[in-house]
């Protein structure tokens, strides 16, 4: 995380868009959102939010939104 709030993302692993399982990504998005809203420690909520953001990006890629 940079001082200005931006961050750099390095793609260590890639996959073809057609290999994304949209159903699985949506399921992960729902699970992560539920965990983020249920409480737990600040670290647990932050990790769930990160998982939700990644799953959301996968859903968008699978559906042609990005």
Q: Which residues neighbour 17 within 8 Å (Cβ) at sequence distance 6 or greater?
A: 61, 62
Taking only the tens place, the pLDDT of each residue in 10-64 is 888 888 999 999 999 999 999 999 999 997 899 999 999 999 999 999 999 999 9
How many domains in the chain? 1
- Whole-structure pTM over 0.85, yes or no? no
- The residue among 66, 42, 38 whose CA lies nearest residue 54 is 66
Residue-range definition of the domain harbouring residue 13: 1-66
Helix (H) or strand (E) holding 34: helix 22-38
Radius of gyration of the chain (CA): 13
Identify the three-state secondary structure at position 24: helix
pLDDT of residue 34: 96
């Amino acid at each position: 995380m940079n001082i200005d709030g931006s961050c750099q993302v390095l793609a260590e692993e890639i996959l073809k868009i057609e290999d994304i399982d949209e159903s699985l990504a949506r399921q992960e998005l729902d699970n992560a959102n539920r965990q983020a809203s249920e409480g737990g420690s600040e670290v647990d909520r932050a990790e769930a939010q990160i998982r939700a953001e990644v799953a959301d990006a996968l859903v968008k890629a699978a559906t042609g939104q990005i």
